[in-house]
């Protein structure tokens, strides 16, 4: 059995073990399987593969390389150009030119762990040239020593692989502006509003940590919804091109690949992409999934259109983190019009009045008597920030108002809004302590038809039951199974002030007002929520909470 190239590389990382390699009369031979440039036939050495392509397909790799005067990196582009052309089922040009190889995308490997690229220096050199022990062409040498020891062979493979990885990394950084300190990479879709802090760097750094991904993956409401939709609708994915935005560990991309996608482009700006690439490789999906580092606004995909966009973009109260604009950008730039699918396809924000005297008492009274000291100033964050927490279902005190998004039609402007809301109290309450916000997500199997409503205001459970066609939905409501998004609890200041300005309300009482979502004043990825109300007998009729 051939020895994997990655094993060769791992053995060459240090000097330990060289004595063992050199001991004994029988030296271990390094074997790799080299896939033909133009079909699936495999070979034990590069020269045999090149000869095969020349005889069967009339393509002479060495002659083409020498005619164009290609260096090591140019040879890599030639390999990937030929493989890419063959993969697309197109004939090679009668005579390949420098212009054919000009696109930097040919620095990206078409075949994962392409052993031929690692063996390029084993090919015959141009006439009059040879190679010294560093692998560089020199004049007048007698040629490469074909009986080189195993150590030199391993060092050569390691050097070539390291050089190739570096070249690819530098090419991608230049092409897709993936350098973190490259100010020019900020596009208008992510440009912070004047006077607001651009927290994007810390945002991406946060998603490089493993803990946050473990939390999300263990959220079965979230992860099961994506898995069930993808696996239960494999006919939607078979043979399709998929774009996964903010791929994280790569879980959604792997779901899509297992469901039969022809190819998946997995994008993430965070360093977690390195782990995603490893996860994908170890699960045997590297030929189907291509990982691209950067923001979708900066990356130019190798394809002009995709069939499906999948993304887990939701933040607290749905719109915290401001990731949805990136999805909408990709929708407009890459998704096939009329037939392309968004996963999820719709989302709805729910807001309802809340009465939770136990929480208010515990949270507020603690600071009013700390070992005999009144620390009321410590309440400021509690009353002015959106509290992300699990709100008990019984705390919801009235009907919910909704703000729905059709992701096929909404724009970035729709993500900052002021809308009317109203609620009917469902029980008697001593006072309304605040408001609770949650959201539902919907995964439709088809794009909305004329007969369907433009926006979804039904609960996830009701909507999924009505569809019955493989569509999936999930909720983050207080009355349902907990998710890592929890709920947003917005406490009214008067309620925390001893309720002296708030009065009891009866079941059936109506309250109404306006709900406003906007970008946080000091954080371009943050969220400000303002609620105005009428029907509550207190001095104040509006309050703004922030989510940082």
Residues 417, 403: contact at Cβ < 8 Å?
A: yes
Strands (E) in 363-460, as ranges, are 387-389, 401-406, 417-424, 434-443
Helix (H, G, I), strand (E, B) or coil at 46: helix
Instruction: Give the CA distances from residue 423 to residues 353, 379, 543, in Å, rounded to whole numbers and listed in that order.
Output: 8, 28, 17
Instruction: Give the CA distances from residue 58 to residues 31, 388, 448, 474, in Å, rounded to whole numbers and listed in that order.
Output: 27, 66, 51, 57
Whether cis (ω within 30° of 0) applies to the bond prior to 344 is yes
Dist. CA 46–CA 262, nearest whole Å: 29
- State the catalytic residues: 312, 321
Does the CA dihedral 106-107-110-115 come out positive or negative? Answer: positive
Dist. CA 255–CA 283, nearest whole Å: 11
Does the CA dihedral 387-393-398-401 come out positive or negative? Answer: positive
Q: What is the strand order of the sheet 341-343 is part of?
A: 289-293, 263-268, 241-245, 308-311, 341-343
């Amino acid at each position: 059995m051939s020895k994997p190239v990655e094993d060769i590389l791992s053995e060459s990382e240090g000097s330990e073990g060289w004595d063992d390699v050199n001991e004994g009369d029988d030296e271990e031979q390094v074997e790799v399987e080299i896939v033909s440039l133009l079909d699936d036939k495999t070979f034990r050495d590069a020269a045999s593969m090149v000869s095969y392509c020349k005889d069967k397909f009339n393509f002479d790799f060495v002659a083409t390389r020498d005619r164009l005067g290609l260096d090591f990196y140019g040879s890599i582009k030639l390999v990937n150009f030929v493989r890419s052309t063959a993969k697309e089922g197109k004939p090679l040009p009668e005579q390949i030119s420098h212009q054919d190889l000009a696109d930097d995308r040919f620095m990206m490997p078409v075949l994962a762990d392409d052993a031929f690229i690692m063996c390029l220096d084993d090919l015959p050199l141009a006439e009059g040239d040879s190679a010294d022990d560093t692998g560089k062409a020199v004049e007048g040498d007698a040629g490469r020593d074909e009986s080189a020891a195993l150590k030199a062979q391993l060092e050569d493979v390691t050097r070539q692989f390291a050089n190739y990885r570096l070249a690819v990394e530098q090419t991608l950084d230049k092409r897709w502006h993936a350098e973190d300190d490259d100010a020019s990479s900020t596009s208008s879709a992510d440009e912070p509003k004047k006077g607001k802090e651009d927290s994007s760097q810390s945002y991406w750094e946060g998603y490089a940590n493993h803990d946050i991904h473990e939390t999300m993956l263990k959220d079965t409401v979230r992860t099961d919804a994506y898995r069930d939709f993808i696996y239960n609708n494999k006919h939607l994915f078979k043979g399709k091109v998929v774009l996964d935005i903010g791929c994280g560990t790569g879980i959604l991309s792997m779901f899509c690949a297992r469901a039969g996608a022809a190819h998946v482009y997995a994008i993430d700006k965070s360093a977690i992409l390195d782990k995603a690439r490893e996860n994908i490789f170890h699960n045997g999906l590297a030929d189907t999934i291509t990982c691209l580092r950067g923001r979708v606004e900066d990356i130019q995909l190798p394809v002009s259109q995709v069939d499906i966009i999948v993304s887990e973009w939701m933040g607290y109260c749905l719109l915290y983190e401001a990731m949805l604009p990136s999805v909408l950008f990709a929708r407009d730039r890459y998704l096939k019009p009329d037939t392309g699918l968004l996963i999820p396809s719709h989302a709805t924000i729910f807001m309802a009045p809340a009465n939770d005297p136990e929480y208010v008492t515990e949270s507020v009274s603690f600071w009013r008597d700390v070992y005999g000291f009144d620390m009321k100033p410590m309440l400021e964050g509690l009353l002015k920030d959106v509290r992300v927490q699990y709100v008990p279902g019984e705390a919801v005190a009235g009907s919910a108002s909704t703000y729905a998004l059709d992701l096929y039609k909404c724009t970035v402007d729709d993500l900052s809004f002021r809308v009317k809301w109203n609620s009917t109290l469902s029980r008697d309450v001593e006072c309304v302590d605040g408001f609770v916000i949650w959201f539902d997500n919907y995964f439709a199997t088809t794009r909305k038809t004329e007969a369907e409503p433009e926006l979804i205001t039904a609960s996830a459970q009701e909507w999924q039951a009505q569809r019955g066609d493989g569509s999936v939905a999930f909720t983050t409501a207080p009355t349902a199974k907990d998710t890592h998004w929890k709920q947003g609890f917005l406490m009214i200041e008067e309620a925390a002030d001893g309720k002296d300005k708030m009065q009891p309300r009866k079941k059936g009482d109506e309250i109404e007002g306006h709900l406003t979502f906007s970008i946080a004043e000091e954080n371009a990825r943050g969220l400000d929520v303002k609620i105005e109300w009428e029907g509550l007998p207190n001095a104040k009729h509006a309050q703004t909470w922030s989510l940082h």
